[in-house]
Amino acid sequence: MIERDLYEQYRFTPQQYTTYRTFHAFVENGEFYCIVPVPHQEDLEILEIKQMSDYMKFHQGEQFAQIIPTNSNKLVGSVAGERVVLLKLPRRWNIRQHLKVREGEFLARFHKHGLYYPYPPQQATRLGMWRELWQNRLDQMEMWWKEKTEERPANRFEELFFETFPYYLGLTENAIQYYVDCMWDDKQNEVALGTICFLKYGENSLNDLNSSVILPTELIYDHPSRDIAESIRTKYLKSKMMEEITGFLQDYENIMPISFTTWKLMFARLLFPLPFFENVEGYYYANSDEMRTIYSSQFIEFIKRADDYEQFLQSFFQYLRMKREIKLPEIDWLCVV
């Protein structure tokens, strides 16, 4: 099926397949390609992420994979019954130079180039949409939780979800209110200052040669605080080292100063319990027992560290107030004063 579709749509006849990250991949005429499913992205959104990727490739270098159109010049193909884009990855020797760049400096330069992007997307954007997106996810989560109040939990995952949801409901409402207050106080409309960002920054490390390639499907248009917050969250969940976080922020600010509005947006995003939502959503949307087991294990591990993460929010809040003299609004519910 894959072989036929690749030939009919791209005139490729790969002899051997491998994987790149989680995607099917192959070599053709000395070039490395991967097949990335895009089941929920419309054609306009794919065009917009291609345009953003092309723009960043021009300014940032050969670190970006390239979308290969079909024989009929369409960006989206169909392989094995799935909507996909075919990506050609850059040669390894072209991306080695990026591996020596400090992460904070890399991200700041990335955002700096993206600030001047002349074509703000209509679909490939999350700018100014956090409140609506978070509220929609919270509403869906609350529906699942209410269903569980009417039946006996089937396993440890459902028990923990039932027990912990009220806490994360409160935390999410705090995040939404923090974001709304930031929008209200933003007299200079900095919230609307968009740049090219990552859908989920922090999952791929610049220190790993394979992961240093940036795929167009990883891009989104949003406020730079999105990536800064997700980098901080990832660093804490992996190592709990404040020194690593503060070093990253200092490196970033060497290139791009962080405004007061950006600090507030960043903290709002850190308040939003993204891993909680990702694992619960992943569990209930999973189409196999194997995937449900993976999401269940990740969820249980995250819940075990809930107290640690709340302490991190408190210590990071105090760091901003005491060391950086950034007077963020207080949050009584988290006992940060």
Q: Where are the domains of the chain?
A: 2-97, 130-193+223-334
Q: What pLDDT score was predicted for residue 274? A: 96
Q: What pLDDT score was predicted for residue 100? A: 65
Q: What pLDDT score was predicted for residue 51? A: 98
Model pTM?
Answer: 0.92
Q: Which amino acid is at 100?
A: K
Q: What pLDDT score was predicted for residue 96? A: 46
For the chain, helix, strand, coil in percent to 5 are 60, 15, 30
Q: Please give the backbone phi and psi of residue 241, each rounded to the nearest 5 degrees, phi first.
A: -100, 110
When the candidates are 3.30.200.20, 3.40.1000.10, 3.40.50.200, 3.40.190.10, the CATH number that belongs to 2-97 is 3.30.200.20
pLDDT per residue, tens digit, the chain (337 aa), is 789 999 999 999 998 899 998 899 999 999 999 999 999 999 999 999 999 999 999 988 778 999 999 999 999 999 999 999 999 998 764 554 555 678 899 999 999 999 999 999 999 999 999 999 999 999 999 999 998 888 888 899 999 999 999 999 999 999 999 999 998 988 888 888 999 999 999 755 455 545 578 999 999 999 999 999 999 999 988 877 888 999 999 999 999 999 999 999 999 999 999 999 999 999 999 999 999 999 999 999 999 999 888 889 988 888 888 878 888 888 876 554 4
What is the DSSP pairing of strand 17-20 with strand 66-68?
unpaired
Q: Which residues contact 321 (CB under 8 A, 6 or more apart)?
A: 327, 328
Q: What pLDDT score was predicted for residue 68? A: 97
When the candidates are 3.40.50.720, 2.40.10.480, 3.90.1200.10, 3.40.640.10, the CATH number that belongs to 130-193+223-334 is 3.90.1200.10
Q: What pLDDT score was predicted for residue 329? A: 83
Q: What pLDDT score was predicted for residue 322? A: 80
2-97 and 130-193+223-334: same fold? no
The structure tokens listed for 30 are 């000395």
User: From CA 55, how far away is CA 104, in angstroms rounded?
Assistant: 21
Q: Which amino acid is at 93?
A: W
Residue matched to tokens 């400090």: 102
